[in-house]
Chain A
Amino acid sequence: MHLIRIWIAGLCLATAVVGGPVRAAPDGAELYVEYCGACHQMQGQGGIGLPLLTSKLADVSDAYLSSTIRLGRPGRVMPGFMRMSDAQVDAIVRYLREQSGTHSVAFNDEPVSGDAARGEALYTKHCAKCHGADGHGEGEGTGVTQSRDRSFLVMPASISNAGFLASAPDQMLRRVIAVGRESSDMPAFGKGKLGESEIDDVVAYVRSFEQRGRKVEALDPGERPTHVYESPYDFDTTVANVKASLTGANFRIFPDRLLEQGLIDEFSVNTRQIGVRFCNFNELYGMLKIEPRLGVVLPCRITIMERKDGQVLLVIPNLRVVSRWFNNDELVGLWDRMEETFAEIIDEVTL
C-alpha cells in the first residue's frame, strides 16, 4: 500500500476549523495539515477520512479532486470546503500530486449515452452487492477508523452521493467500471464481463441516482438545539422520575453530576442543577462506529434544574439538530429514532 508521503517538520498537530477562515498565501502542505490531516492523517493513511492511496490518486483527475474538496460528500462526514479560494484548492491538489508522484487523468465531459433501464439489471447483478441497491455503499460507518471493522480497507464508495456524482464525469465512471480500482476490491468489468455498451448502460443507471439520491429530512425552521420542558413536580421528585423512566427504558444510569461540579469548591456548588447521565453501551459502541466524534456532544444527559422561582426544568439536547452538525446521514437516522425514545421518557416523567 502506497500512501502519499507527507511530513512537515514542526507541524505535528493538524487543526481544522472545517471551512473556516482562509489564508492569503496558499501553501499546499500547510493547507493539507490544517484542513485534511485531522481526518486523512498526516501521510494520508486515513482515519475518519479515507486513505489517500497513491493508486487512487493516480486514477482520478485534478478536477475530480478539486470538486471533491469543494463539495465534500454530503451526509458522509467529508465536509465541503466552499469557502476556500480557488488558489487554496489548487494548492492542496498540487500538493497531493507532488507527494504521491501522480498526475491528473484527463477525462472529457462527453456524457455517456446508455440505457439506464438495462443498466439497472446489470447494476443489480454486478454492483449492488458492494455498493448497495441504492448506491449508498455497503457496511457500517462512513469511512475507516482504527477501531472499526476493516473488512474493506476502503469502504465501497457511496456512488449515489451527490458530491461524488457531481465530481465524477461519465467518462471517469466508465473507466472505473472497465478497469476497476487497484486501491480497493473493485474488479475490472471490462475484461470479458461486460461489453462496452453494457458499461455505458451501467453508467447511465449510476448517473440516474442524481435524481433519486437519499435525502435527509429537513429540519423545521423553528427547531431549537435543545428541548426544554417544565416539570409539574418538585425538583427531587422530577429527578427520581427521570431515573425511574430511564431504568425502565433499559439505560444504565451513571452517578449524578452537578452542572457546576468541578468548576467551584464543593460547598459553593448549586445542588439544584443536576445532569442525569445514562447510556446503553451496546448502542454507544454502535454509534461510535458510525461517528467516532460523538463525544463532542455526549447526548445522553438530561439536566434537571430548579430556577429561583421554584420552577423545575428538564433540558435535553435536540438530537435532530445536533446530529446534522456531523454531516453524517447514518447518525441522523439513528438519532432521529433516539429522539423518539427521549420524547417518550419525557412524556412519562412529566405525566
Chain B
Amino acid sequence: MKPGVLRVLAVLVLSGASAVVSADNMIMGRAALRAEIVLEYVKSSIEEHGYSIAHVQLCDGGMKDFGYTSDVYRVVFFGKIDEVRRISESHPELVSYLPLKIAVIAEKDETLLSVLNPEALAPFFSDEHLQIQFSRWHSDLKSIFQDVRRSVAGHLASSE
C-alpha cells in the first residue's frame, strides 16, 4: 500500500472520522453583493417557498450597543406554523432548532450565507415522518440558496 493511502487511513483514525461526519452539517453560500441587499433576497425567497419570516435578529446591532465593532450580522428566523405546531407537540426536543434560521454575514462587500443542514439532526431520530421533514427542509434550503444566487446574478447584470 502506498504511504499516501496509509496516511489517509491514519487521519481518519486520528480524527475519529469527524471530518467525514461533520462535513454534511452546514450549508453555505457566498454572494458578491452587500449583505443588506442579499438579506432582502433571502427574505423574499423564503416567503416564496411558503415560509413566514418570524423575525430578523440584528446581532451586529446588539454588539454595537455594547461597544463591539462588527460587520452586518443578521439571523433570519422563519417557519411554517403547521410544521412548528406539529413538531413541538410530537418532538418537543426539536423546539431548540425551530424556527429555522439563516445567518447573513457581511464580509466587506460580499455576503456569506450559512445555515445548519437539518439533516444533521436525522441520525438522532428514527421517526420516518421526521426524516422526511428533515429532507424537505434540506431541499427548500438548497432551493432558497439557488434562488438567491439567481437574484444576485440578475441584480449584478442589471447594474452593469
Contacts and interface: CB of A to CB of B under 8 A. Distances in A.
A284 interface: yes
Given A296-B103, A326-B25, A213 B55 contact: no
Contacts of B16: 215-216, 218
B81 A264 contact: yes
A145 B107 contact: yes
A79 interface: yes
A44 B59 CA distance: 27
B130 interface: no
A298 B101 contact: yes
Interface string A11-32: 1111111111000000000000
Contact of B116 (A41, A263, A297): A297
Contacts of B73: 288, 295
Given A42-B32, A295-B59, A326-B22, A261 B15 contact: no
Question: In the complex, which range does the number of interface residues on chain B fall in?
Answer: 35 or more
Q: Which of the four size classes fits the interface of chain A?
A: 35 or more
A225 B97 contact: yes
B142 A15 contact: yes
A213 B84 CA distance: 43
Nearest to B54: A262
Interface string B1-42: 011100110111011101110111111111111000000000
A147 B71 contact: yes
CB-based closest 9 A-B pairs: A19-B23, A295-B103, A80-B19, A262-B54, A13-B149, A74-B15, A166-B7, A166-B11, A325-B25
13 contacts: A10-B153, A17-B24, A19-B23, A109-B3, A166-B8, A166-B11, A169-B3, A259-B98, A285-B63, A293-B112, A293-B114, A296-B26, A296-B102
Interface of A: 10-20, 37-39, 41-42, 47-48, 63, 67, 70-75, 79-83, 109, 145-147, 162-163, 165-167, 169, 210, 213, 215-216, 218, 224-226, 228, 257, 259-264, 270, 273, 279, 281-282, 284-285, 288, 292-298, 301, 303, 305, 307, 313, 315-317, 324-327
